Amino acid sequence: MKMLTIRGNETINSQTDMGSTKEWINRTLEEIHKRMVELFGIDFTYFRGIKIINHSDILKQIMQCMRGDLKENGVIYSDIQWKQIRESLSKNQIPGFFENLAFYNPKDEVLYMSEKMTTNHPEKIIPVCTHELSEKLLSTCLSSPVKTPIRALVEAYIEVKKTNNTRKLYELLNTYADVIFKNVFKEGCCEAIALQTLRHIGSEMKTASLEKELLVGHSKCIDVLFDLDKAKRKIECMEKSQTRLNEKRQRIRAVDEDKLVREILRSSQIIKGVSYYLGYPLAKAVVEKYGIRGVKLALEKYPPLEAQDFANTEAYLAKLEELAAFTE
């Protein structure tokens, strides 16, 4: 079987080098795409194009995707609101989030990647872009796309501002927390599919190194999911006791609510940058045992929504086994 070469720590200094790098990325990914179709038995389309862009343009593309998605769902924000959202995204990213970022826009089927990744971290290009191919594969299988935490947050923020409804706030925060858990699993599945593909094409040493990094990261970061669990329980307690409060207790509750929102947003910001690590062990187990069918079943009917699901793989697999048998 032909082996594909994944470049090491090279630097790219000129426009000519950037052009040849883009051609190399495209050729390599086209071959990986073919192998992925063969391996998982799912025929999905390749990217229409590849664009290497800077940090500012990456953020602009993300904002355009968000704006288009929300507009399709009847949610329209003012230019001032979008400016606030853009500033929030710019200031609240964990270090290096945009530097190693690649994503494809389903609207134009183009793969966008950070220029800094190609110049500073060329060894990450193929693994990161193979992850995006996995995203495309999953989007072909799922009945509806998994909503991203950023989109869920924006929707929740605007809805609460419009209604000023405390109960609605609790509902939205609970929904947002569930979206984060579901997105962690989805990102882990994409990583599991990507690594299985890279292993299949003969990149065993590189894959082993990547997997070790993911497992170490998982062990170091799993506590943030338990923090989110605690926040969800606080939401449930506050929602149950929200009635029959006098004015003084309502003022105290407003402070508690504000603190709770900050806790959840802080956790989600951390989780966003380490979701591959957090979701990978569980996703790998599902992919290896049930394949893409198992991933689809889990994401659409029985997503892992508790930290314990990600910490205890066997227990979640047992629950999924029961559901799979029930749906036969």
The per-residue pLDDT for 255 is 47
The per-residue pLDDT for 207 is 86
113, amino acid identity: M
pLDDT of residue 31: 94
The Cα 88–Cα 37 span in angstroms is 39
Regions of the chain where pLDDT drops below 50? 1-15, 95, 244-252, 255
Question: What is the C-alpha to C-alpha distance for residues 124 and 120, in angstroms, rounded to an integer?
Answer: 9
What six digits make up the tokens of 84? Answer: 């606030």
C-alpha torsion sign, points 36, 40, 46, 51: negative
pLDDT at 124: 86
Residues 115/53, Cβ–Cβ less than 8 Å: yes
Q: How far is CA 110 from the centre of its chain?
A: 18
Task: Give the separation between CA 1 and CA 92, rounded to whole angstroms.
Answer: 45
How much is the pLDDT for 133?
Answer: 95
Residue type, 183: N
Residue with tokens 């170091």: 220
Q: What is the pLDDT of residue 166?
A: 65
The span from the CA of 122 to the CA of 129, in Å, is 11
Q: What is the pLDDT of residue 129?
A: 92
Which pLDDT belongs to residue 273? 76
**Beta-strand runs (E) in the chain:** 49-53, 102-105, 110-114
Q: Is 114 helix (H, G, I), strand (E, B) or coil?
A: strand
Q: Identify the pLDDT of residue 8.
A: 45
Tokens at residue 13, please? 């200094």
- Which pLDDT does position 325 carry in this prediction? 67
Sign of CA dihedral 54, 56, 60, 62: positive
- Residues facing 111 on adjacent strands: 50, 104
How far apart CA 296 and CA 156 sit, in angstroms, is 26
149-163 helix and 166-200 helix, angle to the nearest 10 degrees: 170
Pairwise CA distance, residues 150 & 143, whole Å:
21
